[in-house]
Amino acid sequence: MIHSLFLVNASGDIFLEKHWKSVVSRSVCDYFFEAQERATEPENVPPVIPTPHHYLISVLRHRIYFVAVIQSEVPPLFVIEFLHRVVDTFQDYFGVCTEAAIKDNVVVVYELLEEMLDNGFPLATESNILKELIKPPTILRTMVNTITGSTNVGEQLPTGQLSVVPWRRTGVKYTNNEAYFDVVEEIDAIIDKSGSTITAEIQGVIDACVKLTGMPDLTLSFMNPRLLDDVSFHPCVRFKRWEAERILSFIPPDGNFRLLSYHVSSQNLVAIPVYVKHNITFREGSSQGRFDLTLGPKQTMGKAVESVLVSSQLPRGVLNANLNPSQGTYTFDPVTKMLSWDVGKINPQKLPSLKGTMSLQAGASKPDENPSINIQFKIQQMAISGCTQAGQTL
Q: Which of 262, 251, 237 is nearest to 185 (CA)?
A: 262
Q: How far is the CB of 241 from another protein (least distance, A)?
A: 4
Residue closer to another protein by CB (options 127, 327) is 127
Q: Report the SS3 class of residue 394.
A: coil
CB of 356 to another protein, least distance (A): 21
The CA distance from 159 to 173, in Å, is 15
Using CB under 8 A, which residues numbered 156 to 175 contact another protein?
A: 157-158, 161-166
Q: Which of 51, 98, 256, 313 binds another protein (CB under 8 A)?
A: 313
Is 152 among the residues that bind another protein (CB under 8 A)? yes
Q: Which stretch binds another protein (CB under 8 A): 92-100, 237-245, 345-353, 382-390?
A: 237-245
- Cα 199 from Cα 207, distance rounded (Å): 26
Strand partners, 359: 288, 320
* Residues making up the chain, counted from first to last: 394
3-state SS class at 19: strand
In the chain, alpha helices (H): 29-38, 76-94, 99-104, 106-116, 127-133, 139-148, 239-245
Position 233 contacts another protein (CB under 8 A)? yes
Instruction: Select from 10, 153, 223, 390 the one that contacts another protein (CB under 8 A).
Output: 153
Among 9, 31, 35, 46, binds another protein (CB under 8 A): 46
Residues 342-371 that bind another protein (CB under 8 A): 365, 368-370
CB of 350 to another protein, least distance (A): 29
Q: Is 50 helix (H, G, I), strand (E, B) or coil?
A: strand
* 17 is an interface residue for another protein by CB under 8 A: yes
Ranges within 249-288 binding another protein (CB under 8 A) = 249, 251, 258, 261, 263, 266
- Judged by CB under 8 A, the stretch of 43-51, 302-310, 344-352, 381-389 that binds another protein is 43-51
Sign of the torsion formed by the C-alpha atoms of 313, 314, 320 and 322? negative
Q: Quick check: 304 binds another protein (CB under 8 A)?
A: no
DSSP assignment letter at 7: E
Give least dist CB 274 to another protein, A. 17
Instruction: Return the number of the residue (10 or 301) whose C-beta is nearest another protein.
Output: 10
DSSP state of 193: T
By DSSP bridging, strand 247-250 and strand 178-191 are unpaired
